[in-house]
């Protein structure tokens, strides 16, 4: 879906005036601010309730603008930008002075990407500058993949919501520290590790995920209201039923191989077999189970390859310990 030109102009005007405009990208909806306006950037943190030490991603309109925002770009970073932009890949590079420290959490590096969405690209080109855009939700909660999600969660706290339809990828970008010659994945996301390794011609180090299937290692993020527990795929049905019988309102992420299994629960989502469809639907499913009134979600992790790595990362974080734990 595209957006009306007048709406794109309105969003650009809001950014120029120091306001906040939410806009669609291929990953999730972003809460946009003029990256060069420290006050506007600071308001993003306030609206999200996000600690100011968590750096933002600066969205730019094309790889040709990269050198306006960063310096000392290694050859590998150029290669990745060339291969994956526009797309769900964020590169962490050395900050140009043009990027205020408010946007980088005080770091001398900055995260940059070119989103692959016609409405986002039209907005960036109309606006003409860089736009900081964390996910347009409150800190720690489920990211929005439709304009309605943004309106429901942020309401009047955002000056304008540019509607570009549902997001195609559905999970956030892959973040790569590209400051050195040996890039490292800081967060798995929409560009797969396998595709990065093919482009680089060598294996990549991945931080931030562990293969251990223990819930509770990761502080909660991407989390619905309902508690999330992760179990082996074969035990999802039995665990859900047990909790339901104990009086919980259970929502189930039914693994595709058990799609026909009868399950006693409050609400059931059958997980798509395709990882692309699962990623696209993930945050919507979590919201759906919250809205159905579930207080517990029983899910399992997909195979951690391709987009499954990013999905598993988000589910682990959703199952992580809550601040009140």
Residues that bind Mg ion (CB under 5 A): 135
Using the minimum distance from each CB to Mg ion, give the nearer residue, 76 or 135. 135
Structure tokens, 222? 């991407």
Give the whole-angstrom CA distance, residue 139 versus residue 165: 23
Instruction: Give min distance, CB of 234 to ligand AMP, in A.
Output: 33
Out of ligand AMP, Mg ion, none, which partner does residue 55 contact, by CB within 5 to 8 A per kind?
ligand AMP
Give the whole-angstrom CA distance, residue 13 versus residue 156: 17
Instruction: Give min distance, CB of 117 to ligand AMP, in A.
Output: 15
The closest of 200, 217, 216, 199 to 208, measured between CA atoms, is 217
Which helix (H) or strand (E) segment is 205 a member of? strand 205-206
Out of Mg ion, ligand AMP, none, which partner does residue 141 contact, by CB within 5 to 8 A per kind?
none
Give the whole-angstrom CA distance, residue 296 versus residue 48: 25
Using the minimum distance from each CB to ligand AMP, give the nearer residue, 40 or 250. 40
Out of ligand AMP, Mg ion, none, which partner does residue 54 contact, by CB within 5 to 8 A per kind?
ligand AMP
**Do the Cβ atoms of 27 and 34 come closer than 8 Å?**
no
Using the minimum distance from each CB to Mg ion, give the nearer residue, 135 or 220. 135
Binding interface with ligand AMP (CB under 6 A)? 54-57, 92, 104, 107, 109-111, 134-135, 172, 175, 186-187
Q: Is the dihedral of CA 303, 305, 311, 317 positive or negative?
A: positive
Instruction: Give min distance, CB of 134 to Mg ion, in A.
Output: 5
Using the minimum distance from each CB to Mg ion, give the nearer residue, 33 or 77. 33
Instruction: Give min distance, CB of 254 to ligand AMP, in A.
Output: 28
**Do the Cβ atoms of 307 and 279 come closer than 8 Å?**
yes
Instruction: Give min distance, CB of 90 to Mg ion, in A.
Output: 12
Out of ligand AMP, Mg ion, none, which partner does residue 107 contact, by CB within 5 to 8 A per kind?
ligand AMP
Using the minimum distance from each CB to Mg ion, give the nearer residue, 44 or 135. 135
Instruction: Give min distance, CB of 112 to ligand AMP, in A.
Output: 9
HSE, CB side, 13 Å, CA atoms: give it for residue 100: 16
Strand partners, 267: 251
Q: Is the dihedral of CA 27, 30, 32, 35 positive or negative?
A: negative
Using the minimum distance from each CB to Mg ion, give the nearer residue, 207 or 213. 207
Out of Mg ion, ligand AMP, none, which partner does residue 287 contact, by CB within 5 to 8 A per kind?
none
State in Å, rounded, how far the first CA of the chain is from the last one: 41
């Amino acid at each position: 879906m595209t957006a009306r030109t007048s709406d794109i102009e309105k969003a650009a005007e809001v950014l120029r005036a120091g306001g906040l405009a939410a806009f669609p990208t291929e990953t999730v909806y972003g809460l946009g601010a003029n990256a060069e306006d420290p006050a506007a950037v600071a308001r993003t943190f306030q609206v999200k309730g996000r600690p100011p030490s968590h750096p933002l991603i600066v969205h730019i309109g094309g790889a040709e603008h990269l050198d306006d925002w960063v310096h000392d770009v290694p050859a590998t970073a150029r290669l990745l930008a060339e291969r994956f932009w526009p797309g769900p890949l964020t590169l962490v590079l050395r900050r140009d002075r043009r990027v205020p420290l408010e946007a980088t959490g005080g770091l001398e590096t900055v995260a940059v990407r070119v989103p692959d969405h016609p409405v986002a690209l039209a907005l960036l080109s109309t606006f003409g500058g860089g736009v900081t855009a964390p996910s347009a939700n409150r800190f720690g909660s489920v990211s929005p993949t439709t304009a309605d999600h943004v309106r429901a969660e942020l309401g009047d706290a955002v000056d304008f919501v540019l509607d570009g339809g549902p997001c195609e990828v559905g999970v956030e970008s892959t973040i790569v520290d590209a400051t050195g010659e040996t890039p490292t994945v800081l967060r798995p996301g929409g560009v797969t590790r396998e595709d990065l390794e093919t482009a680089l011609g060598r294996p990549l180090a991945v931080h931030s995920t562990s293969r251990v299937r223990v819930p509770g290692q990761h502080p909660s993020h991407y989390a619905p209201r309902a508690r999330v527990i992760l179990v082996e795929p074969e035990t999802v049905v039995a665990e859900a039923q047990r909790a339901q019988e104990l009086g919980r309102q259970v929502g189930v992420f039914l693994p595709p191989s058990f799609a026909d299994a009868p399950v006693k629960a409050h609400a059931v989502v059958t997980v798509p077999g395709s990882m692309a469809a699962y990623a696209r639907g993930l945050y919507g499913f979590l919201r759906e189970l919250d809205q159905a009134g579930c207080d517990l979600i029983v899910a399992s992790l997909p195979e951690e390859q391709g987009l499954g790595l990013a999905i598993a990362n988000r589910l682990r974080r959703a199952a992580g310990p809550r601040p009140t734990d």
